[in-house]
């Protein structure tokens, strides 16, 4: 059960990163970063999202003993 949650969260984060790359915009709670207007902020947010999603998919953030 725990691994299924990890995989679902990882897939959601990686999917959001891929969707952001596709649309060229990262939507946040208070700001939106556009690929053409804020390239450093956009790519930083995308890389952090993909890294966290990959960590969930690989099971490195597991809370199991």
> In whole angstroms, what separates CA 39 from the centre of its chain?
17
Residues 55/61, Cβ–Cβ less than 8 Å: yes
Per-residue pLDDT averaged across 14-35, rounded?
90
Contact partners, residue 22, CB within 8 Å, separation at least 6: none
Q: 15 pLDDT band (50/70/90 cuts)?
A: very high
pLDDT at residue 9 greater than cutoff 80: yes
Q: What pLDDT, on a 0 to 100 scale, did the predictor assign at position 29?
A: 81
Neighbours of 34 (CB within 10 A): 13
- In DSSP terms, 32 is beta-bridged to 27
């Amino acid at each position: 059960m725990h691994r299924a949650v990890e995989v679902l969260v990882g897939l959601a984060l990686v999917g959001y990163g891929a969707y952001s790359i596709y649309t060229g915009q990262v939507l946040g709670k208070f700001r939106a970063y556009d690929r053409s207007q804020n390239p450093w902020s956009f790519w930083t947010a995308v890389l952090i999202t993909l890294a966290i999603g990959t960590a969930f998919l690989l099971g490195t953030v597991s809370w199991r003993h």
